[in-house]
Each structure stands twice: as C-alpha cells, then as structure tokens.
Homo-oligomer: A and B are copies of this chain.
Amino acid sequence: MPPEKLAFVGGTGPEGLGLAVRFAAAGHAIVIGSRSLERAQEAAAKVRVKVPQAQVEGTVNQEAVELGEIVVVTVPFAGHRDTLAALAPVIGAKMVIDVVSPLVFEGGQIKALLVPEGSAAQQAQALLPGASVVAAFHHLDASSLMRIEKPLDADVVVCGDHPQAKLRTMALAEQIAGVRALDGGPLANSRYLEEFTAVLLSLNRNYKAYTALRIVGIARGGRPG
C-alpha cells in the first residue's frame, strides 16, 4: 500500500506510541497528537529513537487531525467522548481507526464499562457521523509494539461498517511484522473486541505475561468468503 499520513489522537500513551513506532517503521508518515504540544513533541522524539528514518512530528490533537489522512484514536476512554466531540468538525469525513477499550480498574480488577452507544467505536461513529470509523488493534500489547526489532505473533480483528476503510485498516495491520488481519464483521461487533481486552489484561497479570490473540482455523491468506 502507498504511504499514508496517520494522525494519532492521544498518541503519547503506550498504545499510541507503540502503533506509531510500527507504522513509522513501515514507511508511513506519523503525526503524534496530544493535548500538550510539549508532550506530543517528546513522543515524536521517542518514535525517532526507535525508528531513526521515521517521518514523524508532534503537535496538538487538532492540528494533528488536520494534517492526517487517517485518524487513529488512542486516548484513554475517560477522554474519548469529549476529545472526539471537540475534534468532530476537523475530522469531518476522514477515516478513523478507534483502538480504545472502555476499561477501568476497580476493586483490584480490570472491568469493561458498558458504553451507551454500544462500544467506544460506536460512540466515535455517533460523534463523527461523516467519518468512516473502524475498530482495530485493541489486542496488541503496547510494550511488544515498542520492541521494534521483534516481530509480533498476533491476529488483529477489524470491525467496521465501511468496507473500504476496513480493507485499508487490514492492509495497514498486515504491515506490522507478524500480524495477520481478520475481518470481524460490522462495527456492532466492536464491543466484543474492546471487552476482550480485559481478558488479555487479566491473563497478563495472572501469568506475568504479555499476551496476544491468535485465531486458529483460518488458513493464512484466507479471505472472507
């Protein structure tokens, strides 16, 4: 696929940074967005440390979204609604990849919150009616993403109601070494993906591990029938 310009909203956290590193390594241009210009520029510098040839800059969320062709949402869920509502006019009809899982730590456990719209990604679509929202990348461990020298061993299940945006996201995912992308159906399925992140984080804690997901039973290169 041709190089894209990817804008990360909330790209200074571990998941956004990890994905930014992998996509920079794949030759895409990266704009790290943050509420703070300084933190965005610091995060861009961290990407450059991992990927010296990276085409990467850091700026405030609004400018990042203006610059990007594809918007990747990696804010904490607590800021998901307000951040996207504020950016809606700038995002307009762009393609949006929502990576957010609505999780909270409560009573020593990781729990998934129920979102009125159904899921974080469905909330994004409701706030951004002109955009093509896709849900993906929830299950890629942030610290594994940062270890750029090591291929992952993971499937990325992608959900969405916009076929072209879904295909573009799947192509992007497969540019991360060791990742296979799978078509997980409509955006209504995104709740199940987002919530399953809580299972992987529970397993990480129980087993002191960095888990990922593989779907068995689909031949490599299998395409939706």
Residues of A within 8 A of B (CB): 109, 111-112, 114, 141, 144, 153-154, 157, 182-186, 188-189, 191-193, 195-196, 198-200, 202-203, 206-218, 222-225
Contact = CB atoms under 8 A, between A and B. Distances in A.
A159 to B, nearest CB: 8
A202 B218 contact: no
Contact of A154 (B188, B198, B216): B216
Secondary structure type dominating chain A contacts: mixed
Contact of A203 (B114, B153, B157): B157
Given A202-B184, A206-B185, A213 B213 contact: yes
A222 B207 CA distance: 7
Query: A112, A188, A203 — which one has the most chain B CB atoms within 10 A of its CB?
Result: A203
Contact of A216 (B182, B191, B198, B213): B213
A222 B202 CA distance: 14
28 contacts: A109-B185, A109-B186, A109-B189, A111-B188, A112-B191, A182-B206, A182-B207, A184-B206, A185-B199, A185-B206, A189-B198, A189-B199, A189-B202, A192-B192, A192-B195, A192-B196, A192-B198, A192-B199, A195-B196, A206-B224, A209-B217, A209-B218, A211-B218, A212-B216, A213-B214, A213-B216, A214-B214, A214-B216
A141 B217 contact: yes
A182 B203 contact: yes
A55 to B, nearest CB: 31
A167 to B, nearest CB: 13
A212 B203 contact: no
Contacts of A215: 200, 203, 211-214
A153 B196 CA distance: 20
Nearest to A153: B216
Contacts of A182: 203, 206-207
A139 to B, nearest CB: 10
A53 to B, nearest CB: 29
Contact of A199 (B193, B206, B212): B193
